[in-house]
Amino acid sequence: MPTVTFLPGYQKAEVSPESTVLEAAQKAHITMNVVCGGNGKCGKCVVYRKSGEAEFDKEKFGIFFSPAELESGACLACQTRVLGDLLIEIPECSLIQEQQILMESRTLPTQFSPSVKKYFQTLTPPTLEDPSPDLSRLLWGIEKAGGPKAAKNFAPLDVLRSISQVLRSSDWQVTGTVGIVPGGFRLLNVEKGDTRERLYGASVDLGTTTVVVNVRSLVDGTILGAGSTYNKQISCGEDILSRVNFAQKSGLSRLQALAVESINAALIIASEAAQIDLDDVYEVVIAGNTVMTHLLLSIDPSYMISEPYVPVVRRSIYAPAGRLGIAVYPGAGVYTFPAVSNFIGGDIVADILASGMGETTDVSLLIDIGTNFEVVLGNSEWMISCAGAAGPALEGGEVLFGMRANPGAIEKIELDDDTLEPTYTTIGGGRPRGICGSGLIDLLAELFRTCVIDRTGCINTSIRNPRIREGQHYPEFVVIWKEESAIAKDIVITENDVKNLIMSKAAILAACITLMDAADITRERIIHVHLAGAFGNYANKKNAITIGLFPEVPLERITTIGNGALEGANIALLNREKRLMLDRIAHTIAYIELNAEPTFMDRYTSSCFLPHTDLALFPMVQQMLEACRVRRR
């Protein structure tokens, strides 16, 4: 079998002939940037062939390269077939870079009532007069030690197989671990001696891009460690659609394995931080979107990506960790969050749990923003939801100098009222390389506030300021002069960028208004706005309202719930009662399909303004604008 060696790290992989270089890289555990799922469409997995024989169709895929690049061996990893031993160089840009991962979550107070408990007992050894079976003896012991009624239990074969040895080798002093399940309890483990302190659980945010894990004591609920990693599925496609395409082409098993590998990698980091043994983790609660959950469970997601968008299963699933390959105690239960629909997945149900909006009669508006957005409106009595594509602009895509929240990204920015000179901070503190989502919101609001752009997003080129100029294609505003930037170029925002951003935010605002109208709720009646996800966490609330990202409410009503998926998973881990609520909530939330909603397009068009055509909906912004105008005048 040919060997492919990758520079600069000299990782090696043996692959069968005709494999692609991408497959070899995956085998060598190199996480390449494959946005399109390996279809030769995105041109992101650039590599250079240094030596050896390979097949690459320059006619078809040469478009991604200059003649000079082709000359020096450039090709796409996903479209290059290995014919013999190869030496391949991977440029840094083709690798997935470390990104700012949102690991914080609010720690909502929740009743501590985990579903797994340990009971220590000193049993009376059997005699001729009392030869009751080992299992009964143990179960009575657990009941006597304050545990659940012996009668209502399930004992898996693996535990039955170990009981007799453990009881006798421990001199009848044992700790039983039980998990509460519908209708009774499951005997999870029997250990020698008193191990009550060694009882842990893990909560997992299984994101499309990142996986974050918390490890917690299930004795007192304290957090002991956290870990995060990229979702290794990224090597099979950056977004959900490309992953489902990958699954259809190459089978589910690789994606399932990568999901599990990612969770395990984060679990190992968290357990090392916590200094615990993963074999003592007896429960794992996972919140992920509907496709991620299907992939983790190796359930076919194929019919979710095209009309009529049908998942296989929506409710919560409870499966043993050993069955899924998750590296905790093999008999530990793995609980996955239920989904509302294809588009409102377990991650959003976790957001709802984290926001507490299902436990108050106050009306709340929950917004989770990423490439896709999800909006939920309601209270403990009713909820309605919708979802849509915001486009990549708010995450830095389709914006000339937009970038993900990686080091060098401008994350906060203000403009001087008169000089338009920026004051900013970058992630990592270095020189700026581009602007990430929260920076773009700030910039848009500041450009609007300083009247550099008007309500339609047009740049006012009549303002005399060197930063405002005609670019190659569009008018543009120079944010950072090249002398100050890390990329030896002026960092600008073009009028086209501004329009892309406005279209993104308009989709979200229109979705909010659609739900409010459907429920006949005015903005005054919204007591809480919960912003979930990384974007919501880092964005400036006032600026978000200024541009009309969502309906105006008094700022103090807006809260960020941070990583709501993780926080929801934490709550469900620590309080088993909430899980019952979850299945009920997930089952009863109405879902409005925006594409089937005739009024949505009108609302979208009205939202394609800063902040909206109808300024009466944004009284605070209106006030600010008037003040600015007065000043400018």
Which tokens belong to 483? Answer: 């002398």
CB of 235 to a copy of itself, least distance (A): 23
Residue 598 sits in the site that holds a copy of itself (CB under 8 A): no
d(CA 550, CA 617): 10
Residue 132 sits in the site that holds a copy of itself (CB under 8 A): yes
Q: What single DSSP character describes residue 453?
A: B
Alpha helices in 239-375 (DSSP H): 240-250, 253-274, 290-296, 321-324, 346-355
Q: Which stretch binds a copy of itself (CB under 8 A): 68-76, 298-306, 444-452, 477-485?
A: 298-306
Q: Which of 160, 223, 400, 503 binds a copy of itself (CB under 8 A)?
A: 160
Residue 127 sits in the site that holds a copy of itself (CB under 8 A): yes
Nearer to a copy of itself, 28 or 383 (CB): 383
d(CA 361, CA 366): 14
CB of 491 to a copy of itself, least distance (A): 43
Residue 182 sits in the site that holds a copy of itself (CB under 8 A): yes
Residue 169 sits in the site that holds a copy of itself (CB under 8 A): no
Tell me the HSE value of 64 on the side-chain side, using a 13 A CA sphere. 19
- What is the β-pairing status of strands 3-7 and 80-89? parallel
Q: How many helices, marked H, and strands, marked E, lie in the chain?
A: 18, 27
Q: Which stretch binds a copy of itself (CB under 8 A): 128-136, 231-239, 542-550, 560-568?
A: 128-136
Asked if residues 540 and 513 have their Cβ atoms less than 8 Å apart, the reply is no
Q: Which of 97, 165, 306, 425 binds a copy of itself (CB under 8 A)?
A: 165
x-marked contacts with a copy of itself along 51-90 as a string, rule CB under 8 A: ----------------------------------------
Q: Which stretch binds a copy of itself (CB under 8 A): 40-48, 131-139, 377-385, 598-606?
A: 131-139
Residue 299 sits in the site that holds a copy of itself (CB under 8 A): yes
Q: Is the peptide bond prior to 91 cis by the omega test (within 30 degrees of 0)? A: no
Nearer to a copy of itself, 315 or 525 (CB): 315
Give 397: exposed, middle or buried? Use CB within 10 Å, 0-12, 13-18, 19+. Answer: middle
E strands of 98-199, at which residues? 116-122, 153-154, 173-181, 184-192
Asked if residues 204 and 212 have their Cβ atoms less than 8 Å apart, the reply is yes
Q: What single DSSP character describes residue 196?
A: T
Q: Which stretch binds a copy of itself (CB under 8 A): 78-86, 152-160, 553-561, 622-630?
A: 152-160
Residue 437 sits in the site that holds a copy of itself (CB under 8 A): no
Nearer to a copy of itself, 43 or 325 (CB): 325
Q: Which stretch binds a copy of itself (CB under 8 A): 76-84, 129-137, 374-382, 429-437?
A: 129-137
Q: Which of 59, 92, 129, 520 binds a copy of itself (CB under 8 A)?
A: 129
Q: Which stretch binds a copy of itself (CB under 8 A): 27-35, 269-277, 529-537, 591-599?
A: 591-599
Residue 595 sits in the site that holds a copy of itself (CB under 8 A): yes
Nearer to a copy of itself, 73 or 322 (CB): 322
Give 220: exposed, middle or buried? Use CB within 10 Å, 0-12, 13-18, 19+. Answer: exposed
Residue 250 sits in the site that holds a copy of itself (CB under 8 A): no
Q: Which of 9, 133, 428, 619 binds a copy of itself (CB under 8 A)?
A: 133
Q: How many residues bind a copy of itself (CB under 8 A)?
A: 44
Residue 319 sits in the site that holds a copy of itself (CB under 8 A): yes
Residue 593 sits in the site that holds a copy of itself (CB under 8 A): yes
Q: If we measure between CA atoms, which residue out of 627, 354, 630, 388 comes closest to residue 507?
A: 388
Nearer to a copy of itself, 182 or 429 (CB): 182
**C-beta neighbour count of 48 within 10 angstroms:** 16
Residue 323 sits in the site that holds a copy of itself (CB under 8 A): yes
State the distance between the two ends of the chain, measured CA to CA, in whole angstroms. Answer: 75
Q: If we measure between CA atoms, which residue out of 108, 231, 243 comes closest to residue 572?
A: 108
Residue 143 sits in the site that holds a copy of itself (CB under 8 A): no
DSSP states along 105-122 = B-------B-SEEEEEEE
Residue 310 sits in the site that holds a copy of itself (CB under 8 A): yes
Question: Virtual CA dihedral for 530, 533, 539, 541, nearest 10 degrees?
Answer: 0
| Residues within the interface to a copy of itself (CB under 8 A) | 126-136, 155, 157, 160-161, 163-165, 168, 182-183, 297-300, 302-303, 307-315, 317, 319, 323, 341-342, 593, 595-596
